[in-house]
Structure 1
Amino acid sequence: MDALKSIRTLDQDKIDIVNQLLLPHIIEYVQIETIEQAHDAIRSMKIRGAPAIGSLASLSIASTLSSAVKATPRPDFLASPASLEAYIAPKLEYLVTARPTAVNLGAATRRLAKVLSQAVTAHQQQSEPRVSDTDAAVAIANDIIAEAKLIGGEDKAQNITYVQVGWRLAAQAHRRLEKVPKCSDRVQHWATERHWDSLRIYTNKDFSRGHITPKQPHTIKDLGSYPTIRSLPRYNIHTCRLTSLELHTLSIPSTMICDTMVGSLFQHKSMHAVVVGADRIARNGDTANKIGTYNAAVLAARHKIAFIVVAPTSSVDLSIADGSGIPIEHRPPLEACLVRGALHPPSYDAAGHKVQAQVLITPGAVGETEGGVYNPSFDVTPAELITAIVTEKYVAVKREGEASFELLREAEEAE
């Protein structure tokens, strides 16, 4: 299962990520050596999943600083705390621009910025005898490295917590729901791609321990918008490619559908729940997730199907009151006009890999015309359509008669 890990760190200076653009046909790891490469990997969606991109951004900072500390001679930005701050602060701001909607990315960079700022201030206020500027800069760099590694490891730790307590927490919430998902139930699932957080609630799968519970739900997963003029395709069709790969690898029975089939599915099949992840959750429970989630939530409400958000607490942004404050990323128009995958019938290259291709499925001018494509990456599902929010620390349900959650209260009670 090691091949399914989004990020591998073989030592503190080397980071490898699996190139999700090539999955499921080719498993290829890409080495990330610079902050700019990390930004490109996040922006181009070589790596996805809100916790994963926060981890990669942090680890890229750690790798850069670790190499600098070991270098002989050391780079100029380690000459003093001020020069270190002048170098790193813009890098942190730059990383956030790769995927602005995902709260984990911003939260990770803010944590590192806080460590940097507090350490620089402490050095400036230090009374005699003072350490040299160079030694102080190196010490601050090491503090940032330690914090970055801590952030990078939290995603895995949270997922292990899901395995240990996620099912119990979900069951507690489900007892308060009209329909209770069980291991044998049909569940429509929309997964993230860093350890597939929302899927883990139902599979109880721990990659590091190679354990699967004996009974699995029948999972309905979503392909992405069907390629017609009325419903533009998602460029990378991640859920189809990546969730399919995991479910197939784990021998979990599943059925693939397209976005436009959700209504028909709910009409003709007895569904117990829709389970989704989240890129950012506002304080009242409004949730930003991959585009099309809102559609499914509306249809689930129409058919009285439980709609459950599963995400780490790091995806909860208590600084934002509601969904209107969540920034929504818009992807390049051309991405909506392209699809990619392996040739069929299959053709193989010299290494034995399936040959892949990228094709244009619209008139060429569509992706190049201003206003020709509406291509947001995310939509916001209002809290009133969400049945429960499951995290590694708590399960949030709404009070009787309320349309929103009180996640600040949940967070305080969980501490």
Structure 2
Amino acid sequence: MAPLISIKSSDDRLEIVNQLLLPHTTEFLEINSLEEAHDAIKTMKIRGAPAIASLAALSVSQHLTRGLKAIPAPDYLASRDNLKAHVDKILAYLFTSRPTAVNLGAATRRLTKVLDDNISAAQDTRAIAEALIAEGKAVADEDVGRNKEMAKWAGEWLLQRVKEQGGDVSGGVNVLTVCNTGSLATSGYGTALGMITYLHETNKLQKAYYTQTAPYHQGSRLTALELQTLQIPSVMICDTMVGSLFQHHNIHAVVVGADRIAKNGDTANKIGTYNAAVLAARHKIPFIVVAPISTVDLDVHDGSQIPIEQRPPLEACLVRGILYPNEGPQQQVQVMITPSGLEGIYNPSFDVTPAELITAIATEKGVAVKAAGASVFDLSPIV
């Protein structure tokens, strides 16, 4: 079956699959403005740190492409100063859509550098705009290749680790993952789910397990859809059942993605990741983070400095799905699962897993492990 995709783009046409409606309804939304891109990211119509960065960058490319075609030309193309002020404002605006996902910041900084470098070289405004358009497209295009690299690094590291511990990998390994990190969360293939896909493609995966982190998060449902599409044997479990799973099943590793990795290896990821890491440590199960270099934020010393996005309280009270039993055409509904008038609702989108609970961090450049006796990582070899 064909892999799933989160973004379709050609020339100045840009579409995303509305992930709020998956897995029961596949609907592509056309993105026609920077405001629509911002809204799609903020409301989680698109999710996953790499996919967010790709959409933001592609929306800038779309905006500038249309500007170059416009007659008369927009004012921001009248001078380099005008263009810089205009693009800086756009990038700052897009960055506000989801602050925890560092890939978004990396993409906006990358575009800022192209802007500033071309202005310093005294390029005319149209040439600068063309350079920004090309860079925006490159942000998305480069994602698939690096995902395959990090997936292979992580997969091979795990197989070697199991062998070194006296394990037998001939029948494949069992891996647990949290949230969705596949093609719908990236521009293709995926990060942590990419590692699972790599193991499956090389006949080294026995079974994938994935957690239902919370009823209102789409992550597990999207993971289910991706694994089903790729025909990968898998089992969904509630996040409260992870400890039981570790007690009664042979799990060789937990593998997760990341929205931001601090300099010391502390990692922010979907809420529920920290729980899985604590339980993995208790059961001596390797805990692997798979993420692109752009996710590593060397300006953040440790996890305490990572901003944690707080989602609207109402989201914790709602569940979306189809009616069951479903005797006619699929009808998607949204229902409230809590009493009204609750005194308070704690609804962070992410938690931070300390480096001491992480066994390995894989990027497209390789795998980092902690030095003997160390509780934090030296990430310099893989960034």
Specify the TM-score bucket, using the shorter chain as the normaliser. Answer: over 0.9
Paired positions, count: 377
Q: Could you tell me which residue of structure 2 aligns to residue 220 of structure 1?
A: 209
Cα deviation digits, residues 349-401 of structure 1 (max 9, x gap): 5xxxx2101111112223xx6xx111110000000000111112110001100
Cα deviation digits, residues 164-196 of structure 1 (max 9, x gap): 555335445666668787762221112323233
Q: Could you tell me which residue of structure 1 aligns to residue 247 of structure 2?
A: 267
Counterparts of 1:316 and 1:87, CA distance in 2: 28
Q: How far is 1:58 from its partner? A: 0.2
Q: How far is 1:263 from its partner? A: 1.6
Q: How do 1:2-401 residues align onto structure 2 when only pairs under 5 Å count?
A: 2=2, 4-9=4-9, 11-123=10-122, 136-162=124-150, 165-172=153-160, 184-190=172-178, 191-192=180-181, 193-194=185-186, 195-204=189-198, 212-225=201-214, 233=215, 235=216, 237-346=217-326, 348-349=328-329, 354-366=330-342, 372-401=344-373
Tell me if structure 2 keeps the 8 A contact 1:197–1:277: yes
Q: How far is 1:329 from its partner? A: 0.6
Q: Residue type of the partner of 1:38?
A: A
Counterparts of 2:309 and 2:241, CA distance in 1: 25
Length-normalised TM-score, structure 1:
0.85
Counterparts in 2 of 1:180 and 1:297: CA distance versus 1, 3 Å: farther
Counterparts in 2 of 1:164 and 1:215: CA distance versus 1, 3 Å: closer
Counterparts in 2 of 1:180 and 1:289: CA distance versus 1, 3 Å: farther
Counterparts in 2 of 1:294 and 1:189: CA distance versus 1, 3 Å: same
Counterparts in 2 of 1:183 and 1:378: CA distance versus 1, 3 Å: farther
Tell me if structure 2 keeps the 8 A contact 1:115–1:144: yes
Cα deviation digits, residues 176-222 of structure 1 (max 9, x gap): 668787762221112323233212212218xxxxx934453311110
Bigger radius of gyration among the two: 1
Tell me if structure 1 keeps the 8 A contact 2:363–2:382: no
Tell me if structure 1 keeps the 8 A contact 2:242–2:276: yes
Counterparts in 2 of 1:167 and 1:187: CA distance versus 1, 3 Å: closer
Counterparts of 2:326 and 2:250, CA distance in 1: 36
Tell me if structure 1 keeps the 8 A contact 2:177–2:254: yes
Cα deviation digits, residues 238-284 of structure 1 (max 9, x gap): 23211111111222221111111112222222222111111111111
Tell me if structure 2 keeps the 8 A contact 1:19–1:27: yes
Counterparts in 2 of 1:321 and 1:276: CA distance versus 1, 3 Å: same
Counterparts in 2 of 1:60 and 1:161: CA distance versus 1, 3 Å: same
Q: Residue type of the partner of 1:88?
A: V
Q: Residue type of the partner of 2:252?
A: H
Tell me if structure 1 keeps the 8 A contact 2:364–2:382: no
Q: Residue type of the partner of 1:197?
A: T
Gaps of 5+ in 1: 124-130, 206-210, 226-232
Counterparts of 2:290 and 2:83, CA distance in 1: 38
Q: Residue type of the partner of 2:332?
A: Q
Q: How far is 1:72 from its partner? A: 1.4
Q: How far is 1:148 from its partner? A: 0.8
More moved, 244-253 vs 172-181 = 172-181
Counterparts in 2 of 1:324 and 1:184: CA distance versus 1, 3 Å: same
Counterparts of 1:67 and 1:143, CA distance in 2: 14
Counterparts of 2:359 and 2:154, CA distance in 1: 16
Tell me if structure 1 keeps the 8 A contact 2:175–2:255: yes
Gaps of 5+ in 2: none
